[in-house]
Structure 1
Amino acid sequence: MPHSSAAAVLKPMQIISDAKVHGGRQGVYTIESDACGCDMTFAVFVPPQAKEQLCPVLWYLSGLTCTHANVMDKGEYRRMAAEHGLIIVCPDTSPRGDHVPDDASWQLGKGAAFYLDATEEPWSANFRMESHIIDELSAVIAGHFPADMSRQGIFGHSMGGHGALTLALRHPDRFKSCSAFAPIVQPSTANWSVGALTAYLGPDQAAWRGHDATLLIADGARFPEFLVDQGKSDQYLETGLMPWLFEDACRKAGIPLTYRLHEGYDHSYNFISTFMDDHLAWHASRLAQA
């Protein structure tokens, strides 16, 4: 199996599970994370094409309260990923462990790291998910898997949609495609994210702007195009997601946005799995041209 060149300085990786599916392999792994100060779990699907060639990498970021397993169990991505020859990487949503700080709220702490590097105590010692994904886990994927790291895309759901949009805008040279299911597009005003930004980044809202997709665009960040799908019956639409704010930001910045509002769909994986094939095909066509 071919690998990219970073193997000499790799972190060791423990295999938790490995199974054949759609001609490829679905694995779950852990590494000792320096960024997060704990063991971090992640899932990787490797398509059958990887037996002969390096394959593009598509990162999926999950939402609040989730782990790597939610999309792996309910996202229905493997058949289409195998068809298009896509490696799918599913990180966890936060650090884990008895020593990792937490909060009673499901909107803060474990399962709610918001894909940023916290600067405020007690969170700053462990909640460094941007560094974990962009630097640490990327090196693991490059070294342990048959990955073409010059062709990377990113997508996600809800808090993970927020993460996908902000990481794409913050690292446009890294990612060639970006999409989202029901993303939190303006966490600086959404009801389920203001508390987390205050805890992780402090009360000065100027520090929040670099982790808010609409404000990143307002401040000059650019990305070639986006795809966003949203359920019209999503219970969080009005106060937590507010996709029209992202639509307006993209329009003002001249960023092409394909925004689709779907009658009757909610916030669940019933919605995500329905449109998963569309997103994988969309990314595959763009990564093929990268």
Structure 2
Amino acid sequence: MSFAVYQPPQVQKSYPVLYFLSGLTCTEENFIVKANALKYAAEYGLILVAPDTSPRNAGIPGENDNWDFGTGAGFYVDATLAPWSNYYNMYSYIVEELPNLIAANFSIDINKQGIFGHSMGGHGALVCAIRNPNKFKSVSAFAPIVAPMQCTWGTKAFTGYLGEDNQNWRLYDASELVRKHKYHGHILIDQGTDDKFIQEQLKPEIFEQACQEVNQPLTLRYQDGYDHSYYFISSFIEDHIKHHVKELGV
């Protein structure tokens, strides 16, 4: 697995760290190159970590056949069906392996770790944070897939990685999770109104309703005229980094 790391220029004893999870078809490079985040990480003294979105060249038949399943589309789950289960364990990678690797090689403050992401990565960030609030003390998302059990991207991935029993899917659906595991902090989500995926795939209103049911603090902002691209992310990345700075107490 590949990942990108940005370390700020300040000399500090330890650094807060933010993990950014990218969306379908992306690599570890997309966020670092396109999001315009590095100057804000430098300003606030944050390490940024951007992992790849799936294993690559695993030798699984058909792994490159679809843009929304297999290579570039790990969906941040731990696969239970063979042959995917031998390689596609992105949830454990994000929650355990990668943070341990970062902690072993960089001077980070393990009590100040946040996570955010875009689209499929926004789904992953919400799931990882809600299930692991003691590890990820802050969370935000850009145009996340918040109800994957109710959209074709999610059902395709979950069926292929986890099987037909949708009870297993609930572990990776933020709208299902937040009803049972209310997150301790404030969640920030930005969603573009001109995003062509908003109605069929993203469904932000479902997560908003779930949060209202359990009094989960949520700021869901609809940004007029913005689509699903990295121009959208770069326009509001400063707000998200400030959100994490506040939540982490940096």
Interval of TM-score (by shorter of Structure 1 and Structure 2):
over 0.9
Number of the residue aligned with 1:56: 16
Determine if contact 2:140/2:187 at 8 Å carries over to the other structure: yes
Structure 2 counterparts to residues 255-274 of structure 1, below 5 A: 255-274=216-235
| Distance in structure 2 (CA, Å) of the matches to 1:98 and 1:220 | 34
Q: After TM superposition, give the deviation of residue 100 of structure 1 in Å.
A: 4.2
- In the alignment, what sits opposite 1:242? 203
What are the equivalent positions in structure 2 for 1:4-43 lying under 5 Å apart? 40-43=1-4
Alpha-carbon distance in 1 for matches of 2:126, 2:240: 14
Question: How far apart, CA to CA, are the structure 2 residues paired with 1:142 and 1:58?
Answer: 12
- Kindly provide the amino acid, as one letter, of the partner of residue 71 in structure 1: F
Higher strand proportion (structure 1 or 2): 1
Q: List aligned pairs for 1:198-217, cutoff 5 A.
A: 198-217=159-178
Report the identity percentage: 49
8 Å CA contact 2:78–2:85 kept in 1: the answer is yes
Partner in structure 2 of residue 82 of structure 1: 42
Cross-structure match for 1:165: 126
- How far off is 1:147 after superposition? 0.8
| Equivalent of residue 152 in structure 2, options 186, 191, 200 | 191
**Structure 2: distance between partners of 1:67 and 1:100:** 19
Distance 1:150 1:83 in 2: 20
Please name the residue that 1:24 is paired with.
Answer: none
Q: Which moved more, 1:184-193 or 1:232-241?
A: 184-193
Query: Size of the alignment, in residue pairs?
Result: 249
Paired residues of 1:77 and 1:276 also in contact (CA < 8 A): yes
Q: d(CA) in 2 for partners of 1:100 and 1:45? A: 32
Quick one: distance in 1 between partners of 2:164 and 2:86? Answer: 18
* TM-score, length basis structure 2: 0.97
Structure 2 unmatched runs, 5+: none
CA contact (8 A) 2:131 2:181 kept: no
Higher CA-based Rg = 1
Displacement of 1:220: 3.7
2:13 matches 1:71 = no
2:43 match: secondary structure: helix
Task: Give the unaligned 5+ runs of structure 1.
Answer: 1-39
Where 2:150 maps in the other structure, the secondary structure is: coil
Q: What is the rounded CA distance, in whole Å, between the counterparts of 1:215 and 1:259 in structure 2?
A: 17
Q: Which amino acid aligns with 1:95?
A: P
Question: Would you say the 8 A contact 2:17–2:47 is kept in 1?
Answer: yes
Per-residue deviation, 1:75: 0.7
Following TM superposition, by how much is the alpha carbon of 1:131 offset from its aligned partner in structure 2, in angstroms?
A: 1.3
Separation in 1, partners of 2:102, 2:204: 32
**Aligned counterpart, 2:56:** 96
- Are residues 1:111 and 2:72 paired? yes
**Aligned equivalent of 1:232:** 193
Q: TM-score scaled by structure 1?
A: 0.84
SS of the aligned residue for 1:48 comes to coil
CA RMSD, aligned part only?
1.2
Cα distance in 2 between the residues matched to 1:219 and 1:198: 23
Mapped partners of 1:197, 1:221: distance in 2: 23
Q: Matched residue of 2:156: which SS? A: helix
Structure 1 residue 273: Cα displacement: 0.4
For 2:93 and 2:178, the matched residues in 1 are separated by: 24
CA distance in 2: counterparts of 1:226 and 1:100, whole angstroms: 37
